[in-house]
Amino acid sequence: MNWRSGSSDRPLQVEEEAAFRPNRRFLRPVAGGTGRSRRVGRLAARYWKAIAFVALLTGVIVLGYLGRTDLQRLQRLRYFQVTDLVVEGNRQVPTATIVNSLGLSPRVGILEVDLQALSERIVRNPWIKTAHVSRRLPVSLLIRVVERRPRAVVLADRLYLASEDGLILKEAGPDEMPGLPIVRIEVGHPLKVGERIEASRLGHGVRLWQQFDRNTLGPGVRPREVRLEGDGSFTVSLGHGLPRLRFREEALGGQLDRLARVLQIRGISLHALEYADLRFLDKVIVKPLPKGGEA
């Protein structure tokens, strides 16, 4: 019996090596399975992030709702109900009138009130020029107002008190007229309280009225009214037995002084004139009662 242990062992080792050699085609599917696992992992991460975002958003909404509900409950607490109103700056308008214009409900909370809306309600009164409302915690509202003042008496369909910015304040009574300029205007309709007229022309009329405070034409010469004409000029009525005077705003300065010099040169008084035209910068035109003339 022949034993070839050496020769017989060698081929067996080669066969074993050949049997366990890795096959590349067999390994490729294994590598592909690892890529799909990674994609699945990324998708899962995105999914959980989306879930976390939705949960966070839901929590914020719920907390906001709960916070709003708690705030509304806080506003309704009796401790925060408005019980004190302080009004400052009013002289013409009674405090009760300003308070009533707010329209506050009896149990309103100080945190509920709209301060801007309250201010807008107050200034609906023509006498109130500006209004500012602020809180004084826990239960007080402070109201500061600036009132309008009568600047002139406007003569239209009837007599009215008017402010400097041309707002009709009220009908003028006899005891409210002394010391105020009387300005006649033509508006074509009855005026109403709270209506606004042209403030610039009203101001011109008032300034013209004040020119007579210098007593250039004599201490007893005062205007009865200033009429605003349609062409932009002004007619001043001095009263019975005295002439009418015509002015323009741009030619107002020094015209009364010129008229006084003309009267002195002619040696006549105002009572001798029918009218005087002072609308020009370089001359004064006067018309005596018996006949016309120019100077």
Express each pLDDT in 77-97 by its tens digit: 566 788 889 999 999 999 999
Residue 156 has pLDDT above 60, yes or no: yes
Mean pLDDT across 183-199: 91
Residue 203: count other Cβ atoms within 10 Å of its Cβ. 17
**188, 194, 199, 202 alpha-carbon torsion, rounded to 10°:** 60
Lowest mean pLDDT among 59-73, 143-157, 174-188: 59-73
CATH code assigned to 80-147: 3.10.20.310
Question: pLDDT for 95-152, tens place per residue?
Answer: 999 999 999 988 888 888 999 999 999 999 999 999 999 999 888 999 999 999 999 9
Q: Determine if residue 101 is left, alpha or beta; phi over 0 gives left, psi from -120 to 50 gives alpha, anything else beta.
A: alpha
Query: What does the domain layout of the chain look like in residue ranges?
Result: 80-147
Ordered alpha helix ranges (H), 76-148: 95-102, 115-122
* Residue 148, pLDDT score: 96
Percent of the chain with pLDDT over 70: 77
Cα 220 to its chain centre, rounded Å, is: 45
Among candidate residues 65, 82, 218, 72, the one with its CA nearest the CA of residue 139: 82
Between vectors from CA 239 to CA 268 and to CA 197, what angle results, nearest 5°? 125
Q: Tokens representing 79?
A: 């401790």
User: Which two three-digit tokens encode residue 156?
Assistant: 């239209």
> Which is it for the CA torsion 121, 126, 130, 132, positive or negative?
negative
- Mean pLDDT, the chain, integer: 80
CA–CA gap between residue 169 and residue 126 (Å, rounded): 6
Q: Please, are residues 284 and 277 in contact by the beta-carbon 8 Å criterion?
A: yes
Q: CB–CB of 226/252 below 8 Å?
A: no
For CA atoms 76, 79, 80, 83, give the dihedral sign: positive
pLDDT (average), residues 7-29: 48
Number of H helices, E strands in the chain: 6, 12
- Comparing 42-46, 246-250, 275-279, the range with the smallest average pLDDT is 42-46
Q: Which of 29-43, 107-121, 194-208 is least confident? A: 29-43
- Angle at the Cα of 98 (from 156 to 122), degrees rounded to 5? 70
Spatial separation of the C-alpha atoms in residues 230 and 208, rounded to whole Å: 17
* Token pair for 206: 């008032």
Q: Which stretches of the chain are assigned E, i.e. beta strand?
A: 84-88, 128-136, 140-147, 150-155, 159-163, 168-171, 182-184, 225-228, 234-237, 244-247, 273-278, 285-288
Q: Confidence class of residue 1 from pLDDT cuts 50, 70 and 90?
A: very low
User: Helix, strand, coil: what percent of the chain each, to 5?
Assistant: 40, 20, 35
Check whether 47 has a pLDDT greater than 80: no
